[in-house]
């Protein structure tokens, strides 16, 4: 196991062989100077890094208490943090001689980023997406197709992210020779959780440097939303060894954790195996993986990355939840007070900042990882507010 009792490679047969191939390649290239320099080149010149660390003065003044900074991953090319990891894995796939990228997506941002990288590097691309999520995120479906990707609608189960992962893994198992599975979150069998974290940790590294320049100190709190957990582990990782920095992950409480319609894995989950990893999962009364729900297509996942499970176990990160209603209120609040429309996923993190800031002193600092922009969510939030947009 890579993270205490969590992690592992709970896959068999040809998929295990393919995972071992990825592990061997990543171990080879992660310290290769040419690979690292090429990754940094594309982050800088294509993805638009470093992303800004923005002092949210209006929000700070309005809430009182702590200073609030927003890490603007929404300003990256493709509109979210996903592009960081996608560039890294796509470059690895090229070095492995793969011709095709296959991926799962929930909110569509990872799918868009993967389709973008495939277009950039001249690779074939296939994205698996739950049919329910396709309806929620029809704009992103069209963006993926516009970029040249084939989008596969998954009609199994709840037709959301878990089933999209299942479908992508099944297809990968039939096309291992020339296909690379580009996993979008810090989940799955080793080395994927570690690899995704390593490609996303640039977020926390930049926060640390940028805040040092701006305030000459570390943040008191770093807050990020958690589904599978890639943006959160990216924001948290560089601060894990700084005990003065409080780390808070915010997951989806959906219609309330007292109902069955939520995705609050860290709040109500138990240890279990999903998608090739031992981690914390939500189970039903029969011990099976439970159906989950969130207004946010990117957070409706019944598990979490194994490193998050470990960080919870050692009490290094605090995990809380926010309901759909709270997230929509935060979505509307940030839009009106700062002129920034956040992704509905990111809005869950904004909820916690809104709760926390008034309780802190004016010399304390909160950094919220704004993992994506909210263009994709406008129709859905309007519908949530019973306002039907006409195309």
- Domain borders along the chain are 13-43+82-196, 48-79+201-384
For the record, the structure tokens of 167 come out as: 């479908």
CATH assignment, 48-79+201-384:
3.40.50.1100
Check: CB of residue 20 under 8 Å from CB of residue 178.
no
pLDDT digits (tens, 9 = 90+) for 299-321: 989 999 999 999 999 999 999 99
Starting from the edge strand earliest in sequence, which strands make up the sheet with 221-225, in order? 53-55, 67-72, 365-370, 221-225, 246-254, 317-323
Helix H segments across 76-229?
A: 82-95, 109-121, 131-136, 138-146, 161-174, 192-200, 202-215
192-200 and 202-215 helices, crossing angle to 10° = 30
| Architecture of the domain spanning 13-43+82-196 | 3-Layer(aba) Sandwich (3.40)
Q: What is the pLDDT of residue 214?
A: 98
44/355 Cα distance (integer angstroms) = 34
**Do 13-43+82-196 and 48-79+201-384 agree at the fold level?**
yes
| 291 burial via Cβ count (<10 Å: 0-12, 13-18, 19+) | middle
Give pTM, 2 decimals: 0.96
Q: What is the pLDDT of residue 391?
A: 66
Pick out the chain residues at pLDDT < 70. Answer: 391
Check: CB of residue 56 under 8 Å from CB of residue 68.
yes
For the record, the structure tokens of 31 come out as: 């310290």
Check: CB of residue 202 under 8 Å from CB of residue 233.
no
Q: Look at the block and give the residue holding tokens 């439970």.
A: 290
Tell me the pairing of strands 100-105 and 124-130: parallel
113/193 Cα distance (integer angstroms) = 18
| Best CA proximity match to 151, nearest among 108, 100, 213 | 108
- In sequence order, what are the residues at sequence separation of 6 or more whose Cβ sits closer than 8 angstroms to the Cβ of residue 123? 90, 93, 94, 98, 99, 100, 101, 117
Within 10 angstroms of residue 220's Cβ, the number of other Cβ atoms is 18
CA-to-CA dists, residue 224 to 44, 69, 236, angstroms? 23, 12, 8
Within 10 angstroms of residue 36's Cβ, the number of other Cβ atoms is 14
The helix/strand/coil state of 301 is: coil
Q: Which residues are catalytic?
A: 82, 104, 371
Q: What is the pLDDT of residue 136?
A: 87
344-356 and 324-338 helices, crossing angle to 10° = 80
129/166 Cα distance (integer angstroms) = 10
Q: Residue 60: what are its φ and ψ, rounded to 5°? A: -60, -50
């Amino acid at each position: 196991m890579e993270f205490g009792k969590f992690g592992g490679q709970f896959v068999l047969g040809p998929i295990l062989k393919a995972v071992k191939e990825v592990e061997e390649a990543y171990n080879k290239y992660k310290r290769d100077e040419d690979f690292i320099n090429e990754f940094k080149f594309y982050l800088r010149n294509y993805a638009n890094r470093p992303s800004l660390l923005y002092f949210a003065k209006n929000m700070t003044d309005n809430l009182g208490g702590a200073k609030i900074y927003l890490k603007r991953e929404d300003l990256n090319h493709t509109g979210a943090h996903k592009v960081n990891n996608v560039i890294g894995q796509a470059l690895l796939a090229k070095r492995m001689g793969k011709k095709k990228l296959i991926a799962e997506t929930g909110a569509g941002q990872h799918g868009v980023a993967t389709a973008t990288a495939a277009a950039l590097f001249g690779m074939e691309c296939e994205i698996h997406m739950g049919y329910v999520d396709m309806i929620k995120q029809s704009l992103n479906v069209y963006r993926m197709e516009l970029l040249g990707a084939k989008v596969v609608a998954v009609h199994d189960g709840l037709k959301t992210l878990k089933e999209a992962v299942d479908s992508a893994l099944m297809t990968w198992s039939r096309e291992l020779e020339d296909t690379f599975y580009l996993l979008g979150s810090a989940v799955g069998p080793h080395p994927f959780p570690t690899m995704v974290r390593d490609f996303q940790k640039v977020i926390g590294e930049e926060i640390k440097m940028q805040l040092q320049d701006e305030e000459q100190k570390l943040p008191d709190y770093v807050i990020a939303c958690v589904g599978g957990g890639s943006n959160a582990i990216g924001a948290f990782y560089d601060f894990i060894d700084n005990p003065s920095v409080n780390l808070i992950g915010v997951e989806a409480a959906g219609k309330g954790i007292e109902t069955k319609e939520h995705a609050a894995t860290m709040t109500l989950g138990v240890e279990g195996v999903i998608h090739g990893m031992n981690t914390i999962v939500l189970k039903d009364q029969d011990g099976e993986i439970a159906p989950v729900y969130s207004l946010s297509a990117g957070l409706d996942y019944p598990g979490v990355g194994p490193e998050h499970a470990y960080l919870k176990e050692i009490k290094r990160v605090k995990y809380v939840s926010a309901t759909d209603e709270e997230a929509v209120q935060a979505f509307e609040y940030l839009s009106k007070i700062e002129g920034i429309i956040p992704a509905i996923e990111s809005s869950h993190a904004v909820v916690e900042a809104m709760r926390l800031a008034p309780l802190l002193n004016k010399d304390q600092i909160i950094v919220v990882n704004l993992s994506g922009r909210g263009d994709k969510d406008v129709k859905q939030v309007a519908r949530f507010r019973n306002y039907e947009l006409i195309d």
